[in-house]
Amino acid sequence: HMFGIDAAPSELVSSAREDLKSIHEEMIECAREVAPQRGVRDMGDVAELALELQQAKVEGDILQVYRAYVRRAETLVREQELFALPEDYAMSVDVLPPSFAATGGAANWPAPLLAPSKLGHFLVTLDRDAHPLAWAADLTVHEGIPGHHLQSFVWQRRFATTTAPVRFLAVHDQVAIPRGYWAPMLNIEGWAVYAEELMRQAGFFSKREELFVLMAHAVRAARVIADLSLAAGEMTQDAVQQFMMAAACLTERHAWLEARRYAQIPLQASTYHLGRRAIERLRDQTTDLAAFHDRFLGFGPVDPHALIALNAL
């Protein structure tokens, strides 16, 4: 069993292919609505459109732009009662230190577990080239609310005064990479991807922004196929690169980085999509979203497949 998942790798790949096919169909339909004059026919046309749309960057004060997205997201979460947010919920949007620049345009600095009076941070670089406008809303949801920051905020409130923080030691990359054990990531990254789809269904994104949420979903589903196939010796790194370009609209450089990632830290990249799907399986058993989210986050960084097996929710 991998991470408590009963399905064989071949079954996971087959399921991811089905998901990817559905995502592609949604992307084509969405692209037709975004640019009806282009006559979008297939994923090649979608990739061309996405490349063009990403040329427009966030304008004005970058921090203020993201703070506005955070306020929008928090308002929607409260209005639609997706989470029982406390009145004092707060997140700081600050500058990403240069030493973290390699992580990309933005990052989540979690609310510190053992310092409940301190805030977590949504950190963004001031390099405008790192902020395509089309990605800004999705990035806010994934790294901020209701993604990683809300997750860490709940854990801070729930576990700061208990012995539970010991369970979080295995989460850090410096511990997980040598062990090659990524089960907590099924929860952590799975949650952030689940949050993206949740907000898409809630109507948070414009049609143009939605196209890039779907593109992110395509990346995560394609990762399962490429990551597991590379680990099984069924694809080479070159083949993975070409596959990611075709399946997820990635540039040649980005696809090369993805292929290298799967080779260096096998299986980690698969946790995003597999974790999201497991959380959705748990969620489908309830009708009270806010209560489900509170119960799920209350377990901490536990593999959602374990919660399925234990019928814990």
Taking residues 203-219, what's their average pLDDT? 98
pTM: 0.94
- Do 176 and 36 belong together in one domain? yes
The letter for the amino acid at 100 is F
- Do 40 and 172 belong together in one domain? yes
pLDDT of residue 168: 64
CA dist., res. 55 & res. 189, Å (int): 27
- Do 229 and 284 belong together in one domain? yes
- Do 157 and 167 belong together in one domain? no
pLDDT of residue 178: 67
Q: Given 161, 178, 202, which residue is the final one in a domain? A: 161
Closest CA to 73 of 125, 148, 158: 148
pLDDT at 1 over 60: no
The tens digit of pLDDT for each residue in 41-97 reads 999 999 999 999 999 999 999 999 999 999 999 999 999 999 999 888 999 999 998
pLDDT at 4 over 70: no
- Do 175 and 300 belong together in one domain? yes
CB distance 214 to 21 below 8 Å: no
CA 228, distance to chain mean position in Å, is: 19
pLDDT of residue 99: 79
Boundaries of domain holding 41: 1-53+163-313
Task: Compute the Cα dihedral for 56, 60, 146, 261 and give only its sign.
Answer: positive
- Do 262 and 306 belong together in one domain? yes
The tens digit of pLDDT for each residue in 218-270 reads 999 999 999 999 999 999 999 999 999 999 999 999 999 999 999 999 999 99
pLDDT of residue 7: 86
pLDDT of residue 187: 94
- Do 110 and 217 belong together in one domain? no
- Do 295 and 170 belong together in one domain? yes
- Do 62 and 37 belong together in one domain? no
pLDDT of residue 160: 79
pLDDT at 103 over 80: no
CA dist., res. 287 & res. 290, Å (int): 9
- Do 2 and 122 belong together in one domain? no
Tokens 């010796």 correspond to 233
At 100, the pLDDT band (50, 70, 90 cuts) reads confident
Q: Given 129, 161, 193, which residue is the final one in a domain? A: 161
pLDDT at 180 over 90: no
- Do 16 and 80 belong together in one domain? no
pLDDT of residue 246: 97
Q: In angstroms, what CA-CA distances link 270 with 3, 36, 159, 203?
A: 11, 34, 28, 27
Beta pairing class for 106-109 and 121-124: antiparallel
CA dist., res. 250 & res. 255, Å (int): 6
- Do 151 and 293 belong together in one domain? no
Count up the domains in the chain and report the number: 2
Q: Given 161, 180, 202, which residue is the final one in a domain? A: 161
CB distance 192 to 148 below 8 Å: yes
- State both tokens at 62: 């970058």
